[in-house]
Chain A
């Protein structure tokens, strides 16, 4: 347990240094652009969490913030999802090996099943790398949800709806930590995980309803999701109306 804490701190600081080198104010990205600077930027672009991190880490007036203090304590943007992608690839790579996949066949490590050890290791690693730039329970919880989802697809070959259900289970399993004499999470962390789990459940319900309505399903000539489905998911993304969605092709 203690070893894991030190390992994650070491990895977190190493990643912070790598981010510093690649995206910091002394990198080719340069100083942080003011909020009201004209868009699009004439040059490389950093998303909000990286800008916040670079500003915190590179502030010459302050002592250099070490991990996890280098992560913003007020940032729960979806940027955290990007942190989970390489971690999920790393933790799920074994099953790309046909021999490992064959070894897993017949065991309980089947599509949709939850391997608690693997899920926990993945979740802990996702939390560690998320806190480098976003040191909030909400960002960590949603990154963990996304990492669990990707892990299910890559490692176990789960179909999408099956993977969502398994990711929900993986999040619930994280809530048992305090029962084994280990340090329990704060109430805020548990609430954040529940919020992430509900978001997964909402996505699963919306997709199931779409499937049930016959829109966009297999064998249907319609390409992609139906307009009502898009309207609903866009409303969750805080986009007031479909008319705000500008179908401009990417040049």
Chain B
């Protein structure tokens, strides 16, 4: 596992080189350049790495959502965020996203 960890984290770190400045959530989304990896692109890249790809995709997705904002987005509306279509394909997807937001607001 140790080296498998490098893939999603390096993909995430690369966002520094791609015009994503500091600031999370909406601020991060606002500072995302057109050349930075979106949530969808990062997750797809992690999956295409093959092997034990599920958890690496989760890791890449968590990093990119933290950076770009976890809110569901679509073209022109937080296009770097979690794709709205993906949320719709997950059972209770929107409810899960809502729980995540509530969790982050607990403390």
Residues on A lying within 8 angstroms of B by beta carbon are 47-48, 76-82, 85-86, 88-94, 96-97, 111, 138-139, 142, 145-146, 149-150, 153-154, 157-162, 164, 195-196, 199-200, 202-204, 206-208, 210-211, 216-225, 229-230, 233-234, 236-239, 244-247, 250
Contact = CB atoms under 8 A, between A and B. Distances in A.
Given A86-B103, A210-B17, A199 B50 contact: no
A207 B13 contact: yes
Interface in B40-93: 41, 44-45, 47-52, 54-56, 58-59, 62-63, 66-67
Interface residues of B, number: 54
B95 to A, nearest CB: 14
B24 A237 contact: no
A236 B3 contact: yes
B6 A236 contact: yes
B103 A76 contact: no
Interface of B: 1-25, 27-28, 33, 35, 37, 41, 44-45, 47-52, 54-56, 58-59, 62-63, 66-67, 100, 103-107
A199 B24 contact: no
Given A216-B18, A222-B35, A224-B41, 15 more contacts: A81-B8, A82-B55, A88-B62, A93-B104, A96-B25, A154-B25, A157-B23, A162-B22, A164-B13, A202-B10, A203-B10, A207-B13, A217-B35, A237-B6, A245-B49
Contacts of A146: 5, 9, 59, 62
B104 A90 contact: yes
B63 A149 contact: yes
A48 B51 CA distance: 13
Interface of B is mostly: helix
Contact of B35 (A48, A90, A196, A223): A223
6 contacts: A93-B106, A203-B9, A210-B14, A222-B35, A236-B4, A237-B51
Nearest to A198: B2
Nearest to A90: B103
A64 to B, nearest CB: 26
A69 B83 CA distance: 38
Contact of B7 (A86, A91, A200, A237): A237
Contacts of A225: 11, 14, 37, 45
A218 B18 CA distance: 4
A92 B104 contact: yes
A216 B17 contact: yes
B79 to A, nearest CB: 13
Contact of B104 (A154, A196, A204): A154
B49 A160 contact: no
A138 B52 CA distance: 16
A150 B1 contact: no
A216 B1 contact: no
Contact of A161 (B1, B7, B16, B106): B16
